[in-house]
Every structure is written in structure tokens, then in C-alpha cells.
Structure 1
Amino acid sequence: MGNVLEKATRHFFFQHNDADGWVTIAKRENGVYRQRHYKPEEAARRLSEWLGEDVYFSQNTFYIPQRRIENIRQLRALYSDIDFYLLNLNVEWILGSVELLIKDGVIPEPNLIIFSGRGIVFVWLLEPVPYQALPLWQVLENNFSEKLAKIGADKKATDAARIFRLAGSTNGKNGEMVEVEYRHEHRYDLRQLQYDYLPELNPDRQKKKGRPKKVVQLHNVYRLHFTRLRDLAKLVQLRNYEVDGFRETICFLYRYWSCCVLNDPEEALEHTKAFNEQFTRPLPEKEVVRATKSAEKAWAARNNAEANRLAIEKGYPGAGYNLTNAKIIKWLDITREEQQQLETIIDGREKQRRNTIYQRQKRRETGVKPREVYLAQEREKTDDKLHLLQDALAQNPGSSVRKLAEITGLSKSAIARLLKRMKSTC
């Protein structure tokens, strides 16, 4: 037991030492995951309770104790799950192929390799970054997965909420112990990985005519779906989870955007079921599955080349649901006050309000005074000019506008305006 616990502890803290947020530890029992969430320091005391068959832990952390994509706090690793047994490939060949890719600069060297009993997981540790970097993280994750697709990389195991087996546990399918090979401790910088492996996303790269935009578009579309998913969760929270009358629509949208973000319909459905359970009065599980089934079909169509071609021929941007903010706001009856708390599901008025605040802040940062201060200072300047003119008139009664301008140094038009103001106040 001691040796097994040491293996588990080393693996856990190799990835999550000084981590911020909650880490999920899970165990599969009778085909169902039992999971708990711990802060890293507490996990050290609880790992021994989880040892045994089919034990997993999350590669990234969450800001609340719920393992869902919209709750990501820190992105701490990239990974690729290689199911080589499905292709009847051998471990030595897989490792040799990856070494060649590393040597050729196709992928960086992984920090560790998890031998899970029936597969291999390559893990690249990152300098922790917040959830805002998730779109870039996902593009890199997909990029590495595509490069390793020929050796069995699982394209569904690419979401940031993914869990993998913990060293020291055993694989329940064949009884083999999970082992880890540690390569190095250097944590990669996400931006540096972008510059090294995603040149098409580099902002300072010289644009060329006909340059492929696929990666850039995927980055932007993913950002939109992820942010809308977070907005949906925020909206439910703002309503204190009392969403009767909107439950079916909310679950439908949640399942669709989860499919788009996770790229795994089964995982998306499980997340949707868990999301529904937060409601004050949740829908029955069968109703959740039935009411949101079309969301998965739309996602599948969105990823189908022929379906996209037909949709574009009909004048749509593509297959799947291309929902406008106006339609979402109408469906969910989102108030103006609620929109102020959301990131992207907002109407034109809220967008303009934010832009006004942004421009005002920008002016202040560049030294431009707020309007109230500016007007006050202008009034003070006018009063000073008025006193100057009054003194000139007292000493030179009956002087012409031209003469008063020479005495005071003010323009003739300024003198005329001040004289007019003096008359109106008399």
C-alpha cells in the first residue's frame, strides 16, 4: 500500500502542486463515476481513500466543486489520449513514433507519459493560465490531437474538464497497474506554444493573400460557444436556480453548446444532466434527454461536410443552430439588468453602454478629463475672463470692442460674447 500511495501522491502533485481551485478525484464503480472535489492540500490527506481500481483525477482545476467546462479556473496541462490497442499497435512503436515527431519539431516533448493499462496519455504541463485562455488552449489541444491521430489519439478526449487515470491505481479491465514515466519538470508557456506550433494565430505574422483562415475561425467560434455556455450558467445563478418555464430551452442550449465545446456528445449529455440537477425543480432525467435530443443532432450536422454544404447553399452560415443574441434573449426573456452581468448574450443597447464606459475609461487613461471636470474648468476660465473685462471697463469706460481686446489680450469675438453675457445678467 505504501508504494502504491507514493506513486499516486507523486503523480498528483507533479501536476497540481500549488494549484489554485478544486481538483476532481473520481472512481468508476459499476460503470458510473463517483467523484469528489478537493483543494490540492486536502487531496494529499484523502488520496489513500481512493486507491484501487479505475481511479482518475482532473488535469485542470475548477473554481467551484463541479467538474464542468464552464467552471474551469486554471488550465494546467495539455494532453493526448492514445488508444493504440484499438489499432493493434504496440507500445514501443507508439513511443518511437512520438520521439520522431518531437525530434522533427512537430510536437514538444511531454512532461510525463501515463501508461493506463490499455493506452497511453501524453501530458504537457503548462504555466497555469485562467479560463479566458481556454479558446487558445483548445486550438492547441486539437492541434496536438490531429498530429497524433495516426497513432490512435482520441479526438473526444480533448476537453479541459477531462480526467485520466492516477498512478498506483489499477485498470479494472485487465488488472494492470497504472504507471507514469516522468520526462522533465519544465512547464510550457501557452503563448510560446502558440508561436511555435500555431503560426496562423500569431497576431504579428504578416498576412498573405489567400492565407488559410480555418484555425483562426475555429478559435473564434470556440470562444463564442464557450462564453455563451458560461453566460447560460450565470443566468441560472442570477435567477437563484428558479427557472420554471425555461428549463427545456436552457437544457437544450446547454447541451448544444456543450457538444460544440467538448466535441463529445456523451460527455455533453452527462454535463447537461448535472446542470439540470442544480435547478430548484429539475426536469426528470428522461425529459432532459428527450427535450434536448435535437441539440446533439444539430451538433452532428454542424460537423458534417455535406450538411454544411447544403446549409450554405440555402443561405445559412452553416449547419447546426446559428442563433442570434436577439433570439436567445427573447427565448429566455433576459432582462436588461441580467444582460449587464453576462459576457456575450447582450443586445445592441447593452453593447453600446459597455462601449461608452470603455471609451470614457480609455480617455481618462490617456489624460482626457471627465466631462464634468472639463465643464467646471471651462466655467472657471470664463469667469476669469469676465473679471478681466469688468476691470478693463472700469478703468476705460466707453472703450470700443477693438480697444478692450487690445487692453485684455482677448479676441474681439470673446469680448463680444462676454459683453452680451453681462447685459443678460443685468
Structure 2
Amino acid sequence: MKETHLLCNHTKINYWTDLWFDEYKKSGYIAVTSNLKKYSFYGSNQIESLINYNENQLSRYISVNAFGVDWEDIHHSRSTFHLKQIRNIAIDIDQYTKGLTINQTLDEIQSLILDKILPEPNLVLISHGIQLVYSIHQGASPEMGWLVGYITEQFIEKLLYLGADTQAKDLARLIRFPKSINQKNGEFVRTEIWYDEPYTLRELQAYCRPLTKYRSPRKKQGRMLGNFDERLTAFYKINYYRLEDLRKLAIIRNGNFTYCRNTYIYILAYHQSLMVNSQSTVFEIIWNDVKGIYTEDKSKSVEKLTKSWVKKTVKSAYNDARDFFESFVANGYRIVFKTKDGIIKPYKTENLIKKLHITTEEQRKLRTLINCDIARERDTERKRLERRKKGMKSMEEYNKLRQINKDNMKNKIEGLLKENPNITNKEIAGKLGVSTKTVQRYKKEIIGGHHVSV
């Protein structure tokens, strides 16, 4: 297969860089690091440099997606906040944790592909473990992050028995740099192109549990109900962001959930149960998530979690989530709140904030677990940014420009008065194209400021 390092004008994948850069994947920069502390960023016109400085080098990592870089704060630019374009989906497989060899695992992956359980990856990276990378046709907007997350969750579930990493799914994450050297074992990161055409998100979604059911909208009491497809999609989107916030909360607190640890684990397991298909999968994901979670008793001793307790909690959450989802479907993809139906529904935002004691400071770092005041602030800021994009000036800029125009007008009036002290307000207004009242107001200010003797 011919290898090309140049930016192609088509979407065929000939070389590994074509997954990161093509005619549509130019928005933002790809991050590369060797120590997870210092980052270099590469744009679509720097592919040769990307290859020359990183291939055959020890311990190199590359971001799966592209970011808008804050050049004054480069280190923090590799974050979901700065995410500019989603370019790939990557799955990490640590087959050695299951006692499998590389070849055994690759054979299993081929079987899943032949059985149409899994799409053929565009790129396979092989060193100590295996990474499957799927290129997204034309890239995707950060707004589609929830769908990319949904697809990633589903693919991980299919590959769990081979050692798929349940925690490697962040949109800002890194993977091993193709053709670099793995410092753990000194092995070259083998790079294989398996499928040479990128996938649309819809094509990848076809391998997941059905996300939507297509039915025609119907009318009721003269009003058009929302399309079932849209309702179910909105539900999964909200659920994905809820999970994202719950996991971020654990990072913010460094795992300290004193007084609410059990509640937190149940809620986390409940929302995870709405994303994947089996209770065993939920347990494996949740167990990995909560290993660092703890609570302190009155003596400040740390109370450790046990696998048996987490399994019981996951079982309870999974059964509650299953009953809720069956009710949700039966009610036309609507959440019907009835106090006596026995259905445990997802907590409303305000209740969840109370149960997990989420502070205002913590809420400001989250996406959906926020109170009304923060939501209002963000909406105001969003509208302000939209106005800036449309060319509207800020209030400070507007007032500054207004003052400049006002000073110019006063100078013109003052000039006319100096030329002809007997000129009337009506004559001045006619010359300057303003009202006589405006002239009168400015003349008072001029006289008050002793600019001219009238």
C-alpha cells in the first residue's frame, strides 16, 4: 500500500495521518506529548513535522481529537472545554488482563467483524496492548460528543471480554502515537490500516443498541407531539451528560463522598444502566469508576468499598433503571411522574444536587448539575457571545463609540458657532443633519464646559 504524508483531497485512508487530517479535518489542532506535562499542537499544514518529530521516538502520545488552542495557556488547551472537532473514536484493549495474546485477540476481533457485531476499524495500533481507531467522515461537531460517547460505550461493551478499558472514553484523551516506541516494553507501535474509508456516525451507530425508533409524528388535541426519534435522542443525550458530570464530580472531590457515597454509587450505576445492555457490564464499568471513592466516619477513618456491596448496589440500580425505561417506552418516550407507580425515575437536577451536596463552586465546573442562577448566567453569556459573533459591540465598546461621536458632534457645533456666533439652532441642525433639540442639548454642554463664548 502506497504511503503518503501529504494532505489528501479525498477521504480514502492510505496512511495513518489520514485519520487525523484530510480536506474536512482542518478545524483545530492535534495535541502531542511525551510526558503528559508539555504539549505540542499541530495543524493540517504541519503533517510532515508531526511525523518527523514523533515517529520512532520514545513514549509519544497523540490526541484522538482536535482542539482550539489558547496559546497563552497551552497546557490546559487539551480539554473538552477547548474541543474543536471530533475526528476519531478509539477503543483501548488490554488483552493481557484477560490472559490473552495479541494474536488471539486480533483473531477474536476479526470474528466480531465477520459476524457484523463490530465494524472493521480503520486503524489498529499494536504494542503492549491494542487500540482500535475509527475515523469519523468529515469530522463531527463537539455538540455530537454525546453520540460519540454513546457509540464508544457500546463498542467497549462488545469488547469487554477481550480486556477493553472501560475508562478510556474521554473526548480529550490520548492514545499511543503510531510508529512510536512504547517505553514500557521497548516495542515499536505497529500500525495497520484495516479499512480505508472513514465512517459516518450513523454507520457506526448501526452497530449499537438501537438509539431511536422511527415513527411518524401524530397529533393530539390539536397539538403536534415531538417525534419519537427526537425524544429518545434527547433522553440519551441528557443521560450521557449526566454521567459525564457525575464522573467529573468524583475528580473534583478527589473521591471524597463522605455522607453521600452510597447514594452517589447508586445514581452513577442507574445512569450507566441506561447506556449499556447487561448488568455484568454495568458492574465492571462502575467497579472501575468507584475504586477511588471513599467516605469517612466520625473518627475520620476511611471506610473502604467491597465488591459484594457494589454488586448489590449495581443490581438494584440496574433493575430500577430497566423498570423505568420500560415505563418510559410505554409512555411514548415521556417521563410520567406518578408517586404511587413504584417506578424509580432519574432524580431531577435540584434533588440530585441536594442528595450529593454539590456546592455552587462545584456546579460551576459541571455541565448539567447546576442551579437556576448558574443556568441563567450561562444563558446570558451564551447570548452575549452570539451577539459578538454577529458583529454587535459590547456595552463598553458601544458607550466608548457613542462618546466619540458625541465629542465629534460638539466639536462641529463649536466650530460653526465660532464661524458665525449668530447662527440659529435650526441652521446648525440643517447643516449637521440632527434635530434642533440635539443642538440645544450639546450647546448647553459646550457653554457649561466653557468651550466657547456665545
- What does residue 293 of structure 2 align with? 279
Hey, what's the Cα distance between the residues in 2 that align with 1:230 and 1:196?
A: 23
Superposed CA deviations along residues 269-313 of structure 1, whole A, max 9, x for unmatched, are 222222221125543334434556542231121233599569848
| Pairwise CA distance, 1:194 | 8.1
Are the aligned partners of 1:228 and 1:344 in contact in 2 as well (CA < 8 Å)? yes
CA distance in 2: counterparts of 1:344 and 1:138, whole angstroms: 16
- Deviation of residue 319 (structure 1)? 4.1
Q: Is the 8 A contact 2:242 2:271 kept in 1?
A: yes
Equivalent residue number for residue 418 of structure 2: 394
Say if 1:227 and 1:344, in contact at 8 Å, map to a contact too. yes
Shift of 1:212: 8.5
Question: What is the TM-score when the length of structure 2 is the normalising length?
Answer: 0.53
Deviations 1:90-145 (A, max 9, x none): xxxxxxxxxxxxxxxxxxxxxx97337xx88443434247886465458889xxxx
1:350 to 374, 378, 381: 374
Matching residue's letter, 2:428: L
CA offsets 1:339-394 (integer angstroms, 9 cap, x no match) = 22212222222222222222222222222222211211110110111111122223
C-alpha distance in 2 between matches for 1:328 and 1:285: 25
**2:365 equivalent in structure 1:** 341
Query: For residues 159 and 346 of structure 1, do their structure 2 counterparts lie closer, same or farther at Cα, with a shift above 3 Å needed?
Result: farther
**Counterpart check, 1:115 vs 2:137:** no
Counterpart position of 2:436: 412
1:228 lines up with 2:250 in the alignment = no
2:408 maps to what in 1? Answer: 384
Matching of residues 326-337 of structure 1 within 5 Å: 326-337=350-361
Judge conservation of contact 2:265–2:290 (CA < 8 Å) in 1. Answer: yes
Q: After TM superposition, list the pairs within 5 Å mapping 1:242-261 onto structure 2.
A: 242-261=256-275
Rounded to whole Å, the distance in 2 between the matches of 1:212 and 1:390 is 64
Q: Deviations over 1:49-81 (max 9, x none)?
A: xxxxxxxxxxxx89xxxxxxxxx995258xxxx
TM-score if structure 1 supplies the norm length?
0.56
> Residues of 1 paired with 2:429 and 2:337: CA distance?
73
Question: Aligned to 1:127, which of 127, 130, 135?
Answer: 135
Question: Structure 1: how far apart are the matches of 2:150 and 2:381?
Answer: 32
| Structure 2: gaps of 5 or more residues | 1-12, 21-30, 32-54, 66-85, 92-107, 122-133, 163-191, 220-224, 295-301
User: d(CA) in 1 for partners of 2:384 and 2:361?
Assistant: 21
1:128-167 to structure 2, matched below 5 A, reads 128=136, 133=144, 135-136=146-147, 158-163=154-159
Q: How many Å separate the matches in 1 of 2:389 and 2:239?
A: 32
Q: Which amino acid aligns with 1:381?
A: N
SS in 2 for 1:372: helix
Alignment of structure 1 residues 249-328 onto 2, 5 Å: 249-279=263-293, 281=302, 282-290=304-312, 293-305=315-327, 312=336, 314=338, 319-328=343-352
Q: 1:355 to 1:331 in 2, by over 3 A?
A: same
Counterpart-to-counterpart distance in 2, 1:165 and 1:306: 30
Q: Which amino acid aligns with 1:267?
A: T
Over the residues paired in the alignment, what is the CA RMSD in angstroms? 4.8
Partner of 2:392: 368
CA-CA distance at 1:254 after TM superposition: 0.7
* Conserved 8 A contact 2:149-2:240: no
Q: Secondary structure at the match of 1:304?
A: helix
Cα distance, 1:208 vs structure 2: 6.3
| Distance (whole Å) between structure 2 residues aligned to residue 311 and residue 239 of structure 1 | 31
Q: Is the 8 A contact 2:88 2:135 kept in 1?
A: no
- Identity score, percent: 20
Query: Partners of 1:380 and 1:183 in 2: how far apart?
Result: 62
The structure-2 alpha-carbon separation of the partners of 1:184 and 1:251, relative to structure 1 and needing over 3 Å to count, comes to: closer
1:190 is aligned with what amino acid? Answer: T
Q: Residues of 1 paired with 2:207 and 2:277: CA distance?
A: 22
Within 5 A, what are the aligned runs for 1:131-210?
Answer: 133=144, 135-136=146-147, 158-163=154-159, 185-191=195-201, 193=203
1:52 is matched with: none
Change (3 A) 1:225 1:293: same
Q: Is the 8 A contact 1:401 1:416 kept in 2?
A: yes
SS at match of 1:127: strand
Return closer, same or farther for 1:212/1:317 CA change in 2, 3 Å cut-off. farther
Q: CA deviation at 1:266?
A: 1.9
Going from structure 1 to structure 2, the CA distance change for 1:212 and 1:358 (only over 3 Å counts) comes to: closer
Could you tell me how far apart the structure 1 residues matched to 2:200 and 2:156 are? 14
Q: Deviations over 1:323-348 (max 9, x none)?
A: 22111122222223322221222222
In the alignment, what sits opposite 2:105?
none
Cα distance change, pair 159–329 in 1 and its aligned pair in 2 (3 A): farther
- One-letter code aligned to 2:323: A
Instruction: Report SS of the residue matched to 1:75.
Output: strand
Higher normalized helix content (fraction of residues)? 1
How far apart are residue 419 of structure 1 and its match? 2.5
Three-state SS of the structure 2 residue aligned to 1:416 is helix
How many angstroms does 1:257 deviate by? 0.7
One-letter amino acid of the structure 1 residue matched with residue 321 of structure 2 = W
Residue type of the partner of 1:163? L
1:194-226 alpha-carbon deviations (Å, 9 max, x no partner) = 89999x999xx9x86569833332222111111
